[in-house]
Amino acid sequence: MNPALQNLFSNFYDLSRNGGGKTSPIDYFARAEKLLKLFKQYGITSMFDAGCRHRDWICLLDFKKENIKYIGGDIASSMVEYCRQNFTDYEFLEHDCTTDSLPEVDLVLSSDVMIHLNNQDKLKFLNNFVNSNSKYLLMTDDPWHVQNTELEFLEHGFPFANINWALAPWNFPPALDFINDDIHNDQRLKLWSRAQIKQAVSKIDL
């Protein structure tokens, strides 16, 4: 566990607990429906939600009914406790995706997490994914972002920068598939296989 990251995210989500960072009910329904179609198309029966936060949208998708094993993980203990209290049918872990091993599942979901991490921590997560032997990674991507920038953690404020994984220093291959992550813009959740990520990671030079 990275104490600096845990403190950063814990403070942010304590401040934004009453709505900050949440999507609208319309977005919840759209994401749940699109995820279910993706699961069926790629035969996904288990997933780890890396950076699950308050994951209110999971109540709109009955994972057990669809025979999908869901595990959520978050670095902020307050978010983990919130999810454990509100979604008792699912497992939630206090988890740092940059330092802790990822479980072996069909799909690792990373929604709006990498946009808050510096390049070294992004790379740690990608290596963790490869080492987990999980089949697919579904991750936030902004295809219209023209240049990736490094993030610096400041004493005040929350770090943020959009990512286009097709650009340097990542140079990912074209995704297998995608869903729109937000109906209000063209930000997407893109799907890559473990083989694609492993090959891309082997060529990254930070």
- Domain spans of the chain, in order of start: 3-202
pLDDT tens for 114-135 read 998 999 999 999 999 999 999 9
User: Cis omega before residue 174 (within 30°)?
Assistant: no
pLDDT > 70: percent of the chain: 78
Q: Are strands 177-180 and 136-141 parallel, antiparallel or unpaired?
A: unpaired
Of the candidate ranges 5-19, 30-44, 99-113, 159-173, the one whose mean pLDDT is the lowest: 5-19
pLDDT given at position 18: 44
pLDDT tens for 15-25 read 444 444 444 44
Give the list of residues 6+ apart from residue 147 with CB closer than 8 angstroms, or none. 167
Q: In the Cβ-directed half-sphere of 28, how many Cα atoms lie within 13 Å?
A: 13
| CA distances (Å), origin 201, targets 108, 110, 122, 129, 181 | 16, 17, 11, 10, 24
Question: Which helix (H) or strand (E) segment is 6 a member of?
Answer: helix 3-15
- Alpha carbon 137 to its chain centroid, in Å, reads 9
CA–CA separation, 93 vs 75, rounded Å?
8
Reply yes or no on whether the pLDDT at 145 is more than 80. Answer: yes
Average pLDDT over residues 53-58: 71
Reply yes or no on whether the pLDDT at 87 is more than 50. Answer: yes
For 3-202, CATH number out of 2.60.40.10, 3.40.1010.10, 3.40.50.150, 3.40.50.300 equals: 3.40.50.150
- Helices 3-15 and 77-86 cross at an angle (nearest 10°) of 60
Q: State the pLDDT confidence band at 112, using cuts at 50, 70 and 90.
A: confident
pLDDT tens for 162-197 read 999 999 999 999 999 998 865 555 668 999 999 999
pLDDT given at position 28: 55
Q: State the pLDDT confidence band at 159, using cuts at 50, 70 and 90.
A: confident
Average pLDDT of the residues of the chain: 84
Q: Please list the alpha-helical segments (H only) found in 58-193.
A: 77-86, 119-132
> How many other C-beta atoms are found inside a 10 Å radius of the C-beta of residue 191?
22
CB contact burial 135-170 (16+ within 10 A = b; e otherwise): bbbbbbbbeebeebeebeeeeeeeeebbbbbbeeeb
CA–CA separation, 187 vs 18, rounded Å?
24
